[in-house]
Amino acid sequence: MIPKGAQYLLLATFCYALMNICVKFIFHIPVMEVVMFRCIICLLASYTHLKIIHQPIWGNNKKALILRGIFGTISLTAFFFTLQRIPLASATTIQYLSPIFTIILATFIVKEKTNAGQYLFFLLSFVGVLMIKGFDGRISYLDLGAGVLSAFCSGCAYNLIRKTSKSEHPMVVVFYFPLVALPFAVIGTLFGYITPTGTDWLFLILQGVFSQLGQTFMTMALQQEKASGIVNLQYTGVIFALMFGFFIFNERYPTTSLAGMALIILGIILNFFYSRYRAKLVT
């Protein structure tokens, strides 16, 4: 039977895949404006949910919650930047280096030990990233840097979610993200607002809805399971991205770039099974 945390993570990954499609359709809308609309929708939804269940909104570990919001804001902005500029599967795959950063940073943030052998698998995934960049001329070093930055900040945010697992209600954690991000998004939007027209409004609203669902499921997953045990399941998102990119956006990828994506996924899958094997030895 699939653990509850893994089920939540798979649901989160699918919701984020749908969100990515929406963002891709509104590539002409400035990144900070997209972030602003997402924050407004998520903030209202989270606040309403907390009020309905009579849960205090401010939480207990405010420092961790605010830091989670800051890292989440940087990650989201950098990811939307790459998503609007490069092919869908490439942007998704690079950002999905976040499980590697999550596991590495877990050693320092939540004191979850990483075995030395796992770093070999991490190196394999990084080679995959270099292959994607090196053989796809559509990806600049700026795009690659933004994608890696997004992944790193996601790793920080995920561990901070784990850190709040015993002190905070999942919806409080979700609420703090748009609460922290919205002021930055509003300021950024002032420097380049474009009035949405037609279907722009639909995709702006939907990306906020799917984001809220994804955040909720992700938070529930990370508060129930060890980070190293489930974050690898996010890589199902690469499959969604390849399918959606091919059928919806008519995107094609060089064979070497596909090989790079495969290396990233292979490194994570090997780490997943290695982590489970190590856990059985300990027990």
What would the pLDDT profile of 178-196 be if each residue is shown by its tens digit? 999 999 999 999 988 999 9
Whether 148 shows a pLDDT value over 80: the answer reads yes
What would the pLDDT profile of 63-113 be if each residue is shown by its tens digit? 999 999 999 999 999 999 999 999 998 898 888 788 778 878 887 787 777
How high is the pLDDT of residue 122?
79
List the one residue out of 184, 202, 231 whose CA is nearest residue 71.
184
- Rounded mean pLDDT, 251-275: 82
Q: Can you state the angle between helices 88-95 and 4-25, rounded to 10 degrees?
A: 140
User: What is this structure's pTM?
Assistant: 0.84
What would the pLDDT profile of 45-56 be if each residue is shown by its tens digit? 999 999 999 999
Tokens 């600049």, located at residue: 140
**Which amino acid, 281?**
L
- Rounded mean pLDDT, 198-209: 96
> Residue 170 has which token pair?
């999942």
State the pLDDT confidence band at 221, using cuts at 50, 70 and 90: confident
